Chain A
Amino acid sequence: MLQNLPIPFLVLSFLTILSALYVVTSKNPVHSVLALIFTFFTISAHYVLLNAQFLAVVNLIVYAGAIMVLFLFVLMLLNLSKETEPVKSNWWGIAAAISAGSLLLIITAAFQVSGEAVAKNPVEGIGLVKALGKVLFTRFVVPFELTGILFLAAMVGAVLLGKREKGTDALITKEESRG
C-alpha cells in the first residue's frame, strides 16, 4: 500500500508524524516549541504539494512566525525548563494512549465503511492569491469582517488580562518575602 506512493509525500508525512510525536513526548518545553515549528514547516510543504501556495506561505508567517514566537516568549518569560516540568505517573500515559488510540481506530474504521466519496477535480491555480481573494471578498465578505471584530475583542482581552493589578502583586511579594 505504501510503496506505490511518491517519495516526497512519504518522507514529508514521516517527518510530520515524527516531529509531532516529539512535541508531545519531549520533557523540555523549549524543545517542544521547536519541534512544533518544524511540524508547521512540514505541513507547509504538504500545502505546496497540494497546490495551495497561498496557504503554505500564510501558514509559515502566521504559525511559525507569529504564534510560535509568542509561545517561545511566554516560555522564556515564565522561566520554564526541564526542572519545572510537572511529572505524571505512567498510568496517565497508558490511559491517554488508550483514549487517543481508540479515537484513531474509530475514525479510520468509520472511513473504511464510508469509502471513497470524493470526486477528483483538481483545478489549476486554485490556491493562488487571485483565486482565493475573489472568493474571500465576494461570498465570504461578512465572515471576513466579523473576523476583524473577533481580533479586536481578542486583542482588548489579552491586554486587559495582561495588565498588572496593584492589589494582587502586592499580595504575592508579601507572601514571597515571608516564605
Chain B
Amino acid sequence: MSILNIFNQVEISHYIYLSTVLFAIGLFGVLFRRNAIILLMCIELMLNAVNLLFTAFSSYMGDADGQIFVFFIMVVAAAEAAVGLAILVLVYRNTRKTDVSFLDQLKG
C-alpha cells in the first residue's frame, strides 16, 4: 500500500523531469567545483538521479527488474566511493591539497 495513489495523480513524465534536473545539477557541480571530494559527491548525486528514474519506471510498469538494477548501482557507487576516497587521501598525503588541478601533474 502506498501513502497516496501516486500512479493516478502523477504522470511518469514528472519523474523524468525531476531526475533530469537532478542529473543536470550534478553535472553542473562536476564542471564547476574544484574540490575533488565535492566532485565525488556530485557523481553520487547523478547516480541517485538515475536511481530515482529506474525506480519510477519499475514501479509504474510493475516490473521488479528496475529496482534490482538500482540495487546494483548502489553497490557500484559504494565501491567507487571507497576507492575514490582512498585515492584522494593518497593524493592529499603527497601534495597537501585536494584541488583537481593536481591532475595536470600526472605523468605517463
Partner of B60, one of A16, A36, A95, A118: A118
Q: Tell me the complex Cα distance, A107–B94, Å.
A: 41
Q: For A77, what are the chain B residues with a Cβ–Cβ distance below 8 Å?
A: 89
**A165, chain B: closest CB distance, angstroms:** 9
Q: Tell me the complex Cα distance, A147–B72, Å.
A: 8
- Asked whether, in the complex, the Cβ of A70 is within 8 Å of the Cβ of B88, the reply is no
Is B6 close to A, CB under 8 A? Answer: yes
Q: A6-B4, A17-B21 are in contact. Are A85 and B35 (CB under 8 A)?
A: yes
- Asked whether, in the complex, the Cβ of A100 is within 8 Å of the Cβ of B13, the reply is no
Q: Which 7 A-B pairs have the closest CB atoms?
A: A96-B31, A154-B79, A123-B62, A100-B28, A24-B29, A161-B86, A104-B24
- Asked whether, in the complex, the Cβ of A100 is within 8 Å of the Cβ of B18, the reply is no
B contact patch SS: helix
Which partner residue on chain A sits nearest B59 by CB separation? Answer: A50
Q: For A43, what are the chain B residues with a Cβ–Cβ distance below 8 Å?
A: 48, 51-52
Interface size class of B (residues with CB under 8 A): 35 or more
- Asked whether, in the complex, the Cβ of B68 is within 8 Å of the Cβ of A132, the reply is yes
- Asked whether, in the complex, the Cβ of B67 is within 8 Å of the Cβ of A24, the reply is no
**A156, chain B: closest CB distance, angstroms:** 10
- Asked whether, in the complex, the Cβ of B27 is within 8 Å of the Cβ of A103, the reply is yes
Which partner residue on chain A sits nearest B90 by CB separation? Answer: A161
A1-57 interface with B by 8 A CB criterion: 4-6, 8-9, 13, 16-17, 20-21, 23-24, 29, 32-33, 36, 39-40, 43, 46-52, 54-55
Q: For A36, what are the chain B residues with a Cβ–Cβ distance below 8 Å?
A: 41, 44-45
**A42, chain B: closest CB distance, angstroms:** 10
Q: Tell me the complex Cα distance, A54–B59, Å.
A: 12
Partner of B35, one of A29, A63, A118, A150: A29
Given contacts A58-B71, A67-B81, 11 further A-B contacts (CB under 8 A): A21-B25, A24-B25, A54-B67, A62-B78, A71-B37, A74-B85, A96-B28, A122-B59, A147-B75, A150-B75, A161-B83
Q: Tell me the complex Cα distance, A54–B60, Å.
A: 16
**B41, chain A: closest CB distance, angstroms:** 5
**B15, chain A: closest CB distance, angstroms:** 8
Q: A140-B68, A158-B82, A162-B86 are in contact. Are A9 and B48 (CB under 8 A)?
A: no
